[in-house]
Chain A
């Protein structure tokens, strides 16, 4: 079975198959559009509350830790929306496949399982993207916005964002593979989600953290899933540091890919699907 993972098919046919996979998830998202719309309300409330806090603590101050209020508001707005898009509540499709027993069918398909999972995840993001685009202008009205500090920053942001998405999705799939060991994983997932949210700078940027906490955050992969891209966009990191940031992200992408492969090779030996 594991050789199947690397089997080569005609590239275009394979691409069509991946697209089909993603398409299914897009349609699933559309079926739940009411839930997503309510979910958006939650996102906008979150942006509102965070900006209320920042406006309150900034009252009568210029810059704090080298950051002014409008930069902080832009960070909060963009950061919340991109984090929402990259980290759906069910961040991996794997546990559901295992619990329902559909994993058995997934594994006999002539497409590698990790590819199926990645395509499905991309489909979920594609299905959520219109909602994020819908939310963005409202979030900007509530919070605030800023243009990228330079053309370079703008271009590097796009690249950084793509890397952030890839790292986030690969790590999520790796964590999702825990479902192969136990189906009682909701607590473990919550723990991962919360650690990720905090250290990715989704609530408070790394520049406001005390030194030791900021150092910890910089050493963990989560900042590469969110904070780094915003630091580039808002000009916190400039020039050579942008290259350094992108290199760190590329490094985490390699680690994420290797971790997923490693865990998968172990998980495959443990396939016990529910319901036979």
Chain B
């Protein structure tokens, strides 16, 4: 059953991608636009660190590593599943009703409704920044650290997936749930690239326990950079990040499926 789900997902994703790739020039421009979006955020951090020496004790290489990890995780989340964001459109257009009568998991059908081209630039940009920062930062890249980096990236993607999926379940109950979804997303994205200790105490707690942004990139990066000593609340939180990602994603998926039972088509 599981294998079949994955195969269906791959087939549907490829079909969606073929449709989008008809517009090559637009794809190139969207990618450049995406790079500009991410580049501006990095340029801001670079100017600040260049002028002031460091950000919360983090050098520019450290900050770039954090930025690259966050962006790569974001790409790993968004390339396969950014369509979670368009759940309200799928519901409003009656598309979602069709998902329910087809013999494939409705979440898979939602994720593959069309391929989100703009997400490729996030993944590409993230990997580029990450490679640059990884060689500049003071880290020995043995198998242990490489393995931890990959686990951290996947864990971060799962945290993002969990948050978006949980908020998207709102759409089963209220019509206009797009704004909260986008707002939560923009908070996660904009708060992600900063070392947690620079925040005031209340914000640290929120970003760790309420909207778990810290688990996306800061905590796994702190482990790589031997900075678990500065981690707020408990230094072992850093090591827990990938497991927290898995756990949150599983809980969020169950929550989403439960909320789906509350779904009443807007057509009725």
Contact = CB atoms under 8 A, between A and B. Distances in A.
Given A184-B26, A187-B26, A194 B48 contact: no
B103 to A, nearest CB: 35
Nearest to B190: A49
A65 B33 contact: no
B90 to A, nearest CB: 19
B164 to A, nearest CB: 15
Interface in B151-188: 176, 179-180, 182-183, 186-187
A189 B118 CA distance: 13
A190 B52 contact: no
A46 B191 CA distance: 9
A78 B26 CA distance: 35
Nearest to B195: A56
B26 A42 contact: no
A52 interface: yes
B118 to A, nearest CB: 8
A57 B55 contact: yes
B43 interface: yes
Nearest to B198: A56
A41 B30 contact: no
B50 interface: yes
B48 A42 contact: no
A198 B40 contact: yes
A15 interface: no
Contacts of B28: 187
Contact of B33 (A37, A41, A186, A198): A186
Interface in A13-61: 34-35, 37-39, 41-42, 45-46, 48-49, 52-53, 55-58, 61
Majority SS of interface residues in chain B? helix
Interface in A201-237: 203-204, 208-210, 213
Interface residues of A, number: 39
B34 interface: yes
Contact of A186 (B30, B36, B183, B199): B30
Interface in B6-47: 23, 25-26, 28-34, 36-37, 39-40, 43-44, 47
A45 B182 CA distance: 13
B24 to A, nearest CB: 10
B194 A187 contact: no
Contacts of B183: 38-39, 41-42
Nearest to B186: A42
A38 B180 CA distance: 7
